[in-house]
Amino acid sequence: MHGTTQRIPREVFLQVEQPTLIPLPAQRYESSVFVERKVNAYGHIAYGQNFYSVPYQYAGESLTLKVSDSLLRVYKDQQEVALHTLHLGNGEFITQDSHKPPYKQYKSKEHYQQKAQQLGDSVAAFLEALQLHQPHHWRDMINGIYALSKSYEANTVNLACQRALAYGAYSYLAVKNICQKGLCQLETDQALPEGLGGFGQPLNLGSSAESYIIPHGVPTC
Protein backbone atom coordinates (compact mmCIF):
# COMPACT_ATOMS: atom_id res chain seq x y z
CA MET A 1 0.00 0.00 0.00
CA HIS A 2 1.41 3.41 -0.96
CA GLY A 3 1.48 5.75 2.01
CA THR A 4 0.14 8.78 0.10
CA THR A 5 -2.22 7.31 -2.52
CA GLN A 6 -3.36 4.52 -0.27
CA ARG A 7 -3.27 2.25 -3.31
CA ILE A 8 -1.03 -0.59 -4.37
CA PRO A 9 1.24 0.80 -7.15
CA ARG A 10 1.35 -2.47 -9.12
CA GLU A 11 -2.43 -2.63 -9.29
CA VAL A 12 -2.64 1.00 -10.42
CA PHE A 13 -0.12 0.29 -13.19
CA LEU A 14 -1.89 -2.82 -14.44
CA GLN A 15 -5.43 -1.42 -14.22
CA VAL A 16 -4.96 2.25 -15.18
CA GLU A 17 -1.55 3.09 -16.63
CA GLN A 18 -0.57 0.09 -18.73
CA PRO A 19 -3.67 0.16 -21.01
CA THR A 20 -2.79 3.71 -22.08
CA LEU A 21 0.81 2.93 -23.13
CA ILE A 22 1.74 2.63 -26.83
CA PRO A 23 4.64 0.58 -28.32
CA LEU A 24 8.06 2.13 -28.75
CA PRO A 25 9.10 2.94 -32.36
CA ALA A 26 10.65 0.05 -34.28
CA GLN A 27 13.83 2.09 -34.83
CA ARG A 28 15.79 4.13 -32.36
CA TYR A 29 15.26 7.88 -32.60
CA GLU A 30 18.38 9.64 -33.81
CA SER A 31 19.09 13.28 -33.24
CA SER A 32 20.69 15.17 -36.14
CA VAL A 33 23.15 18.01 -36.59
CA PHE A 34 22.60 20.58 -39.36
CA VAL A 35 25.59 22.42 -40.83
CA GLU A 36 26.43 24.37 -43.99
CA ARG A 37 29.35 23.33 -46.20
CA LYS A 38 30.79 24.63 -49.48
CA VAL A 39 31.50 22.08 -52.20
CA ASN A 40 35.15 22.15 -53.30
CA ALA A 41 36.37 22.11 -56.89
CA TYR A 42 36.60 18.30 -56.80
CA GLY A 43 32.90 17.91 -55.97
CA HIS A 44 33.33 17.01 -52.27
CA ILE A 45 32.23 18.53 -48.97
CA ALA A 46 34.27 18.26 -45.78
CA TYR A 47 32.82 16.88 -42.57
CA GLY A 48 34.46 15.19 -39.59
CA GLN A 49 37.96 15.07 -41.14
CA ASN A 50 36.65 13.30 -44.26
CA PHE A 51 35.39 14.33 -47.68
CA TYR A 52 32.07 13.22 -49.16
CA SER A 53 31.07 13.50 -52.82
CA VAL A 54 28.04 15.32 -54.19
CA PRO A 55 26.88 15.55 -57.83
CA TYR A 56 29.55 17.42 -59.80
CA GLN A 57 27.05 20.13 -60.82
CA TYR A 58 27.15 21.56 -57.28
CA ALA A 59 30.89 22.37 -57.23
CA GLY A 60 31.38 25.78 -55.60
CA GLU A 61 27.89 25.93 -54.04
CA SER A 62 26.95 25.94 -50.35
CA LEU A 63 24.83 22.95 -49.30
CA THR A 64 23.11 21.85 -46.09
CA LEU A 65 24.26 18.74 -44.27
CA LYS A 66 22.00 16.71 -41.99
CA VAL A 67 24.22 14.39 -39.96
CA SER A 68 22.94 11.65 -37.65
CA ASP A 69 24.79 8.93 -35.78
CA SER A 70 25.24 6.85 -38.93
CA LEU A 71 24.16 8.85 -42.01
CA LEU A 72 25.16 12.05 -43.76
CA ARG A 73 22.53 13.62 -46.00
CA VAL A 74 23.20 16.58 -48.27
CA TYR A 75 20.45 19.01 -49.27
CA LYS A 76 20.04 21.77 -51.83
CA ASP A 77 16.98 23.95 -51.17
CA GLN A 78 15.43 21.19 -49.00
CA GLN A 79 15.93 18.59 -51.72
CA GLU A 80 18.24 15.67 -50.91
CA VAL A 81 21.07 15.45 -53.45
CA ALA A 82 23.44 12.97 -51.77
CA LEU A 83 23.40 10.28 -49.09
CA HIS A 84 26.44 8.68 -47.44
CA THR A 85 27.12 6.32 -44.57
CA LEU A 86 29.12 8.29 -42.04
CA HIS A 87 32.78 7.36 -42.27
CA LEU A 88 34.89 7.06 -39.12
CA GLY A 89 38.33 7.38 -40.70
CA ASN A 90 40.43 10.51 -41.21
CA GLY A 91 41.33 12.24 -44.44
CA GLU A 92 39.35 9.79 -46.58
CA PHE A 93 37.54 10.64 -49.83
CA ILE A 94 34.19 8.86 -50.01
CA THR A 95 33.09 9.10 -53.62
CA GLN A 96 30.05 7.74 -55.42
CA ASP A 97 30.70 7.03 -59.07
CA SER A 98 27.34 8.54 -60.11
CA HIS A 99 28.46 11.91 -58.69
CA LYS A 100 31.37 12.19 -61.15
CA PRO A 101 31.11 13.91 -64.55
CA PRO A 102 30.03 11.39 -67.21
CA TYR A 103 33.50 11.19 -68.74
CA LYS A 104 34.97 10.15 -65.37
CA GLN A 105 32.37 7.58 -64.44
CA TYR A 106 33.37 3.92 -64.48
CA LYS A 107 32.47 2.12 -67.70
CA SER A 108 32.68 -1.59 -68.41
CA LYS A 109 35.12 -3.14 -70.87
CA GLU A 110 32.14 -3.98 -73.07
CA HIS A 111 31.34 -0.25 -73.34
CA TYR A 112 34.86 0.52 -74.58
CA GLN A 113 34.79 -2.43 -77.00
CA GLN A 114 31.51 -1.31 -78.56
CA LYS A 115 32.78 2.25 -78.96
CA ALA A 116 36.06 1.07 -80.46
CA GLN A 117 34.25 -1.17 -82.94
CA GLN A 118 32.29 1.85 -84.17
CA LEU A 119 35.57 3.47 -85.27
CA GLY A 120 36.94 0.36 -86.93
CA ASP A 121 38.41 -3.11 -86.50
CA SER A 122 41.93 -1.77 -85.97
CA VAL A 123 40.79 0.51 -83.16
CA ALA A 124 39.14 -2.50 -81.51
CA ALA A 125 42.35 -4.52 -81.94
CA PHE A 126 44.40 -1.63 -80.57
CA LEU A 127 42.13 -1.53 -77.51
CA GLU A 128 42.85 -5.20 -76.84
CA ALA A 129 46.58 -4.53 -77.19
CA LEU A 130 46.38 -1.61 -74.75
CA GLN A 131 44.56 -3.75 -72.21
CA LEU A 132 47.37 -6.31 -72.46
CA HIS A 133 50.38 -3.98 -72.54
CA GLN A 134 49.02 -1.01 -70.55
CA PRO A 135 46.82 -2.63 -67.86
CA HIS A 136 46.87 0.44 -65.59
CA HIS A 137 46.47 3.19 -68.18
CA TRP A 138 44.51 1.72 -71.09
CA ARG A 139 41.28 3.56 -70.22
CA ASP A 140 42.95 6.99 -70.39
CA MET A 141 44.77 6.08 -73.58
CA ILE A 142 41.75 4.72 -75.43
CA ASN A 143 39.68 7.73 -74.36
CA GLY A 144 42.36 9.91 -75.94
CA ILE A 145 42.10 7.90 -79.15
CA TYR A 146 38.32 8.26 -79.12
CA ALA A 147 38.81 12.01 -78.77
CA LEU A 148 40.95 12.01 -81.94
CA SER A 149 37.80 11.12 -83.89
CA LYS A 150 36.57 14.66 -83.21
CA SER A 151 39.46 16.09 -85.26
CA TYR A 152 40.03 13.28 -87.75
CA GLU A 153 37.83 10.96 -89.78
CA ALA A 154 37.11 7.57 -88.24
CA ASN A 155 38.96 5.85 -91.09
CA THR A 156 42.08 7.93 -90.39
CA VAL A 157 42.05 6.97 -86.71
CA ASN A 158 41.46 3.34 -87.64
CA LEU A 159 44.41 3.30 -90.06
CA ALA A 160 46.60 5.07 -87.49
CA CYS A 161 45.82 2.32 -84.97
CA GLN A 162 46.62 -0.29 -87.62
CA ARG A 163 50.01 1.33 -88.24
CA ALA A 164 50.78 1.63 -84.50
CA LEU A 165 49.91 -2.05 -84.02
CA ALA A 166 52.30 -3.03 -86.82
CA TYR A 167 55.14 -1.21 -85.06
CA GLY A 168 54.22 -2.41 -81.56
CA ALA A 169 53.72 1.19 -80.41
CA TYR A 170 51.03 0.70 -77.79
CA SER A 171 50.32 4.29 -76.74
CA TYR A 172 47.96 7.14 -77.40
CA LEU A 173 50.84 9.43 -78.42
CA ALA A 174 51.88 7.04 -81.18
CA VAL A 175 48.40 7.10 -82.73
CA LYS A 176 48.17 10.87 -82.27
CA ASN A 177 51.52 11.45 -84.04
CA ILE A 178 50.50 9.28 -86.97
CA CYS A 179 47.24 11.23 -87.34
CA GLN A 180 48.91 14.62 -86.98
CA LYS A 181 51.60 13.86 -89.57
CA GLY A 182 49.18 12.25 -91.99
CA LEU A 183 51.09 8.96 -92.00
CA CYS A 184 48.19 6.58 -91.70
CA GLN A 185 49.02 4.51 -94.80
CA LEU A 186 50.59 1.30 -93.50
CA GLU A 187 53.90 0.18 -94.98
CA THR A 188 54.07 -3.55 -94.37
CA ASP A 189 57.68 -3.86 -95.50
CA GLN A 190 58.94 -1.64 -92.67
CA ALA A 191 58.80 -2.82 -89.11
CA LEU A 192 60.28 -2.15 -85.71
CA PRO A 193 63.09 -4.33 -84.39
CA GLU A 194 61.48 -7.28 -82.65
CA GLY A 195 60.62 -6.83 -78.97
CA LEU A 196 60.76 -3.03 -78.76
CA GLY A 197 57.02 -2.48 -78.43
CA GLY A 198 57.30 1.25 -78.97
CA PHE A 199 59.10 2.00 -75.70
CA GLY A 200 62.79 1.38 -76.44
CA GLN A 201 65.38 1.00 -79.16
CA PRO A 202 69.06 0.20 -79.63
CA LEU A 203 71.17 3.25 -78.84
CA ASN A 204 72.93 3.08 -82.22
CA LEU A 205 69.60 3.72 -84.01
CA GLY A 206 69.09 7.26 -82.75
CA SER A 207 67.46 9.07 -79.87
CA SER A 208 63.80 9.10 -80.95
CA ALA A 209 61.49 6.09 -81.07
CA GLU A 210 59.32 8.19 -83.37
CA SER A 211 61.58 7.14 -86.25
CA TYR A 212 59.99 3.70 -86.02
CA ILE A 213 56.49 5.05 -85.98
CA ILE A 214 57.01 7.54 -88.84
CA PRO A 215 59.87 6.30 -91.06
CA HIS A 216 61.33 8.67 -93.66
CA GLY A 217 59.96 8.37 -97.14
CA VAL A 218 56.63 6.73 -96.21
CA PRO A 219 53.74 8.03 -98.35
CA THR A 220 51.20 10.15 -96.49
CA CYS A 221 47.48 9.53 -96.47
Query: 63 and 127: one domain?
Result: no
Q: Which residue has the higher pLDDT, 193 or 127?
A: 127
Q: Which residue has the higher pLDDT, 211 or 164?
A: 164
Q: Which residue has the higher pLDDT, 73 or 195?
A: 73
Query: 194 and 178: one domain?
Result: yes
Query: 117 and 62: one domain?
Result: no
pLDDT at 181: 87
DSSP character at residue 203: G
Query: Is the model's pLDDT at 90 over the cut of 70?
Result: yes
How high does pLDDT run on average in the chain?
83
Q: Which amino acid is at 208?
A: S
Band (pLDDT 50/70/90 cuts) for residue 45 is: very high
Query: 86 and 112: one domain?
Result: no
Q: Is the dihedral of CA 112, 117, 118, 119 positive or negative?
A: positive
Query: 164 and 202: one domain?
Result: yes
Query: Is the model's pLDDT at 47 over the cut of 50?
Result: yes
Q: Using one digit for the tens of pLDDT, what is the confidence trace for 3-38? A: 999 999 999 999 999 999 999 888 877 788 999 999
Last residue within a domain, chosen from 79, 103, 127: 103
> Is 218 contained in some domain?
no
Query: 71 and 111: one domain?
Result: no
Query: 178 and 124: one domain?
Result: yes
Q: Is the dihedral of CA 104, 108, 111, 114 positive or negative?
A: positive
| Cβ burial 12-24 (10 Å sphere, 16+ → b, else e) | eeeeeeeeeeeee
**Domain count across the chain:** 2
Query: 123 and 97: one domain?
Result: no
pLDDT at 46: 94
pLDDT at 186: 54
Q: Using one digit for the tens of pLDDT, what is the confidence trace for 48-81? A: 999 999 999 999 999 999 998 889 999 999 999 9
Domain span holding position 58: 33-103
Q: From CA 99, how far away is CA 177, in angstroms rounded?
A: 34
Query: 117 and 196: one domain?
Result: yes
Query: 128 and 58: one domain?
Result: no
Query: 158 and 87: one domain?
Result: no
> Is 145 contained in some domain?
yes
Query: 50 and 128: one domain?
Result: no
